[in-house]
Structure 1
Amino acid sequence: MDLLEIIVLALLQGLTEFLPISSSAHLILPSKLLGWSDQGLAFDVAVHVGTLAAVMLYFRRDIVRLTQGWLTTGFTRNPSADGRLAWYVVVASVPACLAGWLLNHWIEDNLRSVEVIAWTTIGFGILLGFADRRHGTIGITQITLLMVLVIGVAQALALVPGTSRSGITITAALLLGMQRSDAAHFSFLLSIPLILAAGGLKTLELSDSLLPVDWQALLIGAALSAVSAWLCIYYFLAFINRIGMLPFVLYRLILGSVLFLFFVG
């Protein structure tokens, strides 16, 4: 990989991991437009480490508070709000982890095509727009176990390329009546165990690989993905209540249309 490829792919990973616009749709475009080869498993691990570092740094106070609440009251009959929310993050992560473990290879073999990504980019973009019009006033401390289970099952759909993990979880939360910023907040908290699981799986696969490792490329990729992901989270949460989801809906419709027009024969 040359420096331009490293920069573009790391920035794309950092930005699209948390915006509701589908990372798979964006990561496929450079290879199609510019003829770039696959970035490789080691680089995937590096940019996942970068995005994980960004979200954990941004929500470090939440992580400490939720961990303390979970350890002190999470195993009692009346957990604190923080202990209960920590359990909700765990519960909502289970469906996607199970689906990934059972279906990952099948999805890679059958659904990772430009046509599927184009359809899901458009379809789930329209659903996001519909959900945004139904958003309510429920805050992150007011969510129920049933809401958490629905969001968790929705998150499992993100295994289908083009869906967007953040997009589908925010969509589900908005449909259930959550306010925009809290829907995004909960979605970003849910990303932590999922990125950990995905990064761990890729690391295990990498440990079995005998290919040489370009450590400079990995360090640059991890750093750039971390910085871009942190900025993405910061500005998304700062402006989401003001601008809503319409810009992302329109962007998904345009992106999906471009994929259909130029890459689906």
Structure 2
Amino acid sequence: MSEFTSYLLLGVVQGATEFLPVSSSGHLTIFSSLLNVPLDAESKAAFFAVLHLATFGAVLLFTFKDLWAILAGLGRPEKRSSSIRYIGLLLVATIPAVLAGFLLEDEIKSLFSDVAFTSIMLFVTAAALFISDRFKGDRRILDLSFAGALSIGIFQAAAIAPGISRSGLTIFGALLIGMMRSDAVKFSFLLSLPVTFGAGILEISRVSLPLSTVLLASLFAFLMGIIGLWLLKKLVLRRRLRFFGIYCIIVGTIGLVFRGVM
């Protein structure tokens, strides 16, 4: 397989797994090793961040109606307080991931080449997904306290490590504090916007690959991301996250076998 095809395949992998609770960064780490992608740890992290930026476009399109309602509410006196609170909750929940990204940047980059660590973290994701199907809550997003939003943000910060699913852990955190499943999914989607956008913008200048390769891989990531978003929403509402948990166990096992750990 050519290097060009490998990069395009990574774009497909990123888009297909970004919003499914199976850790896109974990898949990128394992697949890039399986494909022998000739990038060092820093270059891998930069390329993966740009692919995340492509899936930012997918979630932006998918959540446009909700975003427009929030922003439009700022101009309507009867909706303004709700919109301000909504934005405040998202900002508070974003803080832990931002801090983790700045404080642990070098450590996290090195983990993108550690297949064994990533595989073990997929087992952690699997455990969260199995437990998530047991929760049943009725709290809406605007019922959240700022402490509750911060706790969901801490789960998102933990997902900065490859193998830990951002969507899986944020949905788990939201369900854990009693949110209804549809609102847990919505909050997770909206919460992904500033993190994926910020990471992609910061890393885009460090990508050493040809522009045509990056653009085409990003297009595949965007298109697959749309499909992944739709599928995740359907399966969360139907309490089918355990199937993703089984999948994470399988992929994690493959990664450990590949590294000779098992």
Secondary structure of the 2:159 match is: helix
CA shift in 2, pair 1:239/1:154, >3 Å: closer
- Offset, 1:111: 7.8
Which 5+ residue runs of structure 1 have no aligned equivalent?
none
Q: CA deviation digits over 1:57-113, x for unaligned, max 9? A: 11112222222335767xxxx953232111111111011101111111123346852
When normalised by structure 1's length, the TM-score is 0.86
Secondary structure of the 1:133 match is: coil
Query: Does the CA contact (< 8 Å) of 1:132 and 1:174 recur in 2?
Result: no
In 2, the alpha carbon distance for the partners of 1:221 and 1:248 equals: 24
Residue equivalent to 1:215: 211
The one-letter code sitting in structure 1 at the alignment partner of 2:58 is A
CA shift in 2, pair 1:143/1:238, >3 Å: same
1:62 to 63, 66, 69: 66
In 1, the alpha carbon distance for the partners of 2:57 and 2:172 equals: 25
Query: Does the CA contact (< 8 Å) of 2:133 and 2:239 recur in 1?
Result: no
Range with greater deviation from structure 2 (114-123 or 78-87): 78-87
Q: CA deviation digits over 1:26-84, x for unaligned, max 9? A: 112333323232375764454233211111111112222222335767xxxx9532321
**1:86-105 alignment runs, 5 A limit:** 86-105=87-106
Q: Confirm or deny that 1:263 pairs with 2:259.
A: yes
Residue equivalent to 1:115: 116
Query: Does the CA contact (< 8 Å) of 1:135 and 1:177 recur in 2?
Result: yes
- Offset, 1:3: 4.2
Query: Does the CA contact (< 8 Å) of 1:97 and 1:194 recur in 2?
Result: yes
**1:129-208 alignment runs, 5 A limit:** 129-206=130-207
The one-letter code sitting in structure 2 at the alignment partner of 1:52 is F
In 2, the alpha carbon distance for the partners of 1:34 and 1:110 equals: 17
Query: Does the CA contact (< 8 Å) of 2:126 and 2:242 recur in 1?
Result: no
In 1, the alpha carbon distance for the partners of 2:173 and 2:49 equals: 28
Residue equivalent to 1:9: 10
Query: Does the CA contact (< 8 Å) of 2:7 and 2:217 recur in 1?
Result: yes
- Offset, 1:217: 1.3
Residue equivalent to 1:233: 229
Residue equivalent to 2:250: 254
In 2, the alpha carbon distance for the partners of 1:108 and 1:7 equals: 21
CA shift in 2, pair 1:71/1:91, >3 Å: farther
In 2, the alpha carbon distance for the partners of 1:4 and 1:156 equals: 32
In 2, the alpha carbon distance for the partners of 1:2 and 1:204 equals: 21
Secondary structure of the 1:36 match is: coil
- Offset, 1:127: 2.4
Which 5+ residue runs of structure 2 have no aligned equivalent?
none
When normalised by structure 2's length, the TM-score is 0.87
* Number of equivalences: 257
In 2, the alpha carbon distance for the partners of 1:24 and 1:174 equals: 23
Q: CA deviation digits over 1:140-193, x for unaligned, max 9? A: 333222210100111111122211111111111111112222212111100000
The one-letter code sitting in structure 1 at the alignment partner of 2:20 is L
In 1, the alpha carbon distance for the partners of 2:74 and 2:196 equals: 21
